[in-house]
Structure 1
């Protein structure tokens, strides 16, 4: 160990030190004061890191009086899981990888050149990385999914942190960026903690649901009985006893031979036909999806000791929404919700936000009429009461059409009513769409900026502007411009809603941490039933276990369930104030407490 700080550090930069291979690796920690100046440097063995961090967090190492340091991680999935496994949690961090992705692109950064030149810190969002880029950007870890390859050594971390600090300090609106980066980094902590704790999962109930819907579990890789029976029903209706329903090409040929003139085997295409084979075929496809995505093999791979542990990817979508690189956390089907079951003497506290994206649009655009339509109530019903549309369904179609750029059908007919009644909100999305059509970029409320159009998009526009351009060239260019305009139109809304959700998560995480742990008092029924499978950090206190865009689930001791519910409500209100100040927009929650997390 080298010099230790004489004062509690405001931040601690972690990184590996040069030396032998993975075993016996040493870790360097540089302590920084509030101005970012180095005040101490520590060298310790890797296995000593959890105790050192615990001391800093609990006060023995300087973390007293509310001065717990902000830990500077190269990448949270690299550093935080081993700490959690050792029973150590931290209050705050700054994730260099997540921050780099935002700052290198943000319009608010006035001098991004140094960050963009540091390409070894680049890791594309999951929906932006082409397959050929994946091998270069990510390592595959069987237990943690895709782990971005960024530098983890101490000197590289210090250099990147210095670049990021300069970029923030010289930004056109550093306050917004700091808020965004703090929320994004907190999201990284939440993702690691939710994986460590796991979602309480009833394996017996999951098996019962599968058996009820598909038939009993088959031997090896066979299909369950109800699926086989449904397949025979389809074959009989097609008068083709040998057709392979799992082969799109062969199924399409069989459909056409039976006189069903469809262009593909998608459910949308199939529903255009009234042939007797269609209904059982759609049911078979639904069964096949459930078996493939969440069947018994999924149960064996992703659920262990009563916990489902998916791999979340914060910032995995360019808008800032999360993705998943393992376990399919963002696609758990509704019929499996009863399998989410709290431990004995614990409860699941579930909450989702009503119409999050339209409310974010009302707040960021300053459209008071739209805000008032949904204040304290269902926003879609508020549009009906305001006389904008006739039914709640029309309101939903109109709002979604406005945010996603629908210009045809029922949405195309209804959107002009929103433009007349909510001009500020519509001006915001219309302006974002026009910027996209012109090849520009747009930014969210806190400064996350959309990617520029691809080189392919640029080629189409150049071809349309040539003196010898054909009508087909111009049509392709217009179509591409319209597509990018719809993307930027939605980007500002979805991205800002994602920022609100991150602020909600970050605040809720700290509120739950402040709830007292369940002790061994005789009057506490829960004390005899710790959530041992949730790991040493979370076995005796309420904790987040699930997040999906606008929904959270907290696993809480039964006697603290009401407190956890109040923490969820208070965090939602706080997130609204943090982002939008005194804007007359609220974010009402549909909240429930129970042994199972069942959504209507």
Structure 2
């Protein structure tokens, strides 16, 4: 059985109302729409009653609707996420990047102009409210006949059911519908996991983080400037540039400083600097690395994103064109190796590290049928093999290429 769920209200973490409608496994309405004042309670009751019967929830977006439920303690096993599914169906038709919201998908069903997706709001740890699906008036405890919440709620629920039927039809018309259905189910499951991971958080030891920061950066500035180690490196950079005082954070000023010592560079990227023989280069490379730690995962980052021993970013399933996850705030997918020392499993638990190494180029090798790339993929370390063939054994250059 499938239950379509649509909520007018902006999720705020409190018990809010919403619309439910039961559907058959084929997506055909099996009963009337009904309003419930306590949506998390109703979902919890339905899940308990249907336990073991393959209940699947249908909603516009796990990021909005499941987050509201999960904050109330509801955890679900299966769903169909319209937004994630629409993105995959568009990509399978060569249209990745087109609007994928419920409003956009419903406009396609009706042959109407497709609205752009709303800009995702930057998540703030102290502000867990998410955007609403449409610009709607706030809903009360129950809708009054003929008023906004009733009209918009029924319209939203109807749009959801019709878009789901359209997505099922597009999936059935695909060259390999079984594989596409499995992909949609997996992506929807990933949407559930992303919400739960963000709410549960990553275990994070602030005491270890403090120790690592002081080892790398020295004491923080009492007046809000760079920490001691960055200040020292800045002075050494000035000495190496023979008295010039460029801002190490400004590529334009660094390029001018290099030019004045007779070195013309196209950029100040690390791979470019490593080709330069000058005493300032190792200082700049160290400065860049430590500056990233300070600005991206330093004391301010910890204050913003870590609370109660957990880091709480917002994970975004399928957030980039390659299909990889992304994060919106918190930088949890780019934590530098030194800072990872602070990620320590809770007592009685262990962290399992798994990495599908070099996945994208291996997929590219299979899709392109490029013989050289296939040979490199078969060699084990694909980047090392490519470096040996085409990049003068420079693995870093092969990876960037």
TM-score range for the pair, normalised by the shorter chain length: 0.7 to 0.9
Q: Residue by residue, what CA displacement relative to the aligned partner does 1:325-349 show, whole Å, maximum 9, x if unpaired? A: 2111221111111110122333222
Q: 2:387 & 2:66 partners in 1: Cα distance?
A: 38
Pairing 1:27-38 to 2, within 5 Å after superposition:
27-38=18-29
Contact persistence 1:28–1:41 (CA under 8 A) = no
Q: Residue by residue, what CA displacement relative to the aligned partner does 1:119-149 show, whole Å, maximum 9, x if unpaired? A: 6249xxxxxxxxxx99844344534899787
For the structure 1 residues 270 and 312, does the alpha-carbon distance in structure 2 shift closer, same or farther, using more than 3 Å as the test?
A: same
Equivalent of 1:97 in 73, 83, 96: 83
Contact persistence 2:84–2:188 (CA under 8 A) = yes
Contact persistence 2:19–2:157 (CA under 8 A) = yes
Deviation at 1:25, TM superposition (A): 6.0
Q: 1:165 & 1:17 partners in 2: Cα distance?
A: 25
For the structure 1 residues 354 and 118, does the alpha-carbon distance in structure 2 shift closer, same or farther, using more than 3 Å as the test?
A: closer
Q: Residue by residue, what CA displacement relative to the aligned partner does 1:267-309 show, whole Å, maximum 9, x if unpaired? A: 2222222111111121111111111111111111111110011
Q: 1:282 & 1:288 partners in 2: Cα distance?
A: 10
Deviation at 1:150, TM superposition (A): 4.7
Q: 1:363 & 1:268 partners in 2: Cα distance?
A: 29
For the structure 1 residues 149 and 25, does the alpha-carbon distance in structure 2 shift closer, same or farther, using more than 3 Å as the test?
A: closer
Pairing 1:478-497 to 2, within 5 Å after superposition:
none
Are residue 330 (structure 1) and residue 329 (structure 2) matched?
A: no
Select between 36-45 and 153-162 the one with higher mean Cα deviation. Answer: 36-45
Pairing 1:136-175 to 2, within 5 Å after superposition:
136-143=118-125, 150-151=133-134, 153-175=156-178
For the structure 1 residues 198 and 214, does the alpha-carbon distance in structure 2 shift closer, same or farther, using more than 3 Å as the test?
A: same
Q: 2:393 & 2:273 partners in 1: Cα distance?
A: 23
Equivalent of 2:58 in 56, 69, 72: 72
For the structure 1 residues 24 and 342, does the alpha-carbon distance in structure 2 shift closer, same or farther, using more than 3 Å as the test?
A: closer
Aligned position for 2:197: 194
Q: Residue by residue, what CA displacement relative to the aligned partner does 1:563-599 show, whole Å, maximum 9, x if unpaired? A: xxxxxxxxxxxxxxxxxxxxxxxxxxxxxxxxxxxxx
Equivalent of 2:92 in 77, 87, 106: 106
DSSP-derived class of the 1:219 partner: coil
Contact persistence 2:2–2:23 (CA under 8 A) = yes
Aligned position for 1:312: 315
Q: Residue by residue, what CA displacement relative to the aligned partner does 1:461-501 show, whole Å, maximum 9, x if unpaired? A: xxxxxxxxxxxxxxxxxxxxxxxxxxxxx9xxxxxxxxxxx
Aligned position for 1:15: 6
Deviation at 1:187, TM superposition (A): 0.7
RMSD after superposition: 3.7
Deviation at 1:202, TM superposition (A): 0.6
Q: Residue by residue, what CA displacement relative to the aligned partner does 1:45-68 show, whole Å, maximum 9, x if unpaired? A: 44x122221222223xxx13x214
Deviation at 1:263, TM superposition (A): 2.7
TM-score normalised to structure 2 length = 0.77
Q: 2:298 & 2:262 partners in 1: Cα distance?
A: 33
Contact persistence 1:17–1:25 (CA under 8 A) = no
Equivalent of 1:120 in 104, 126, 141: 104
Pairing 1:19-418 to 2, within 5 Å after superposition:
26-46=17-37, 48-59=38-49, 63-64=50-51, 66-107=52-93, 120-121=104-105, 136-143=118-125, 150-151=133-134, 153-240=156-243, 242-357=245-360, 383=379, 396-398=383-385, 408-410=390-392
Aligned position for 1:511: none
Q: 1:397 & 1:147 partners in 2: Cα distance?
A: 44
DSSP-derived class of the 1:71 partner: strand
Deviation at 1:34, TM superposition (A): 2.0
| Structure 1 spans left out of the alignment, 5+ residues | 1-9, 110-114, 123-132, 374-378, 384-391, 402-406, 413-489, 491-600
Q: 2:317 & 2:369 partners in 1: Cα distance?
A: 28
Q: 1:349 & 1:116 partners in 2: Cα distance?
A: 34
Contact persistence 2:20–2:36 (CA under 8 A) = no
DSSP-derived class of the 2:344 partner: coil
For the structure 1 residues 193 and 305, does the alpha-carbon distance in structure 2 shift closer, same or farther, using more than 3 Å as the test?
A: same
Q: 2:233 & 2:76 partners in 1: Cα distance?
A: 52
Q: 2:276 & 2:69 partners in 1: Cα distance?
A: 56
Q: 1:411 & 1:239 partners in 2: Cα distance?
A: 34
Pairing 1:405-484 to 2, within 5 Å after superposition:
408-410=390-392
For the structure 1 residues 104 and 277, does the alpha-carbon distance in structure 2 shift closer, same or farther, using more than 3 Å as the test?
A: closer
DSSP-derived class of the 2:79 partner: strand
For the structure 1 residues 45 and 15, does the alpha-carbon distance in structure 2 shift closer, same or farther, using more than 3 Å as the test?
A: same
DSSP-derived class of the 1:72 partner: strand
Q: 1:17 & 1:234 partners in 2: Cα distance?
A: 57
For the structure 1 residues 140 and 340, does the alpha-carbon distance in structure 2 shift closer, same or farther, using more than 3 Å as the test?
A: closer
Q: 1:191 & 1:227 partners in 2: Cα distance?
A: 36
Contact persistence 2:123–2:328 (CA under 8 A) = no
DSSP-derived class of the 2:328 partner: strand
Contact persistence 1:138–1:147 (CA under 8 A) = no
Query: Which is richer in strand?
Result: 1
Deviation at 1:27, TM superposition (A): 1.0
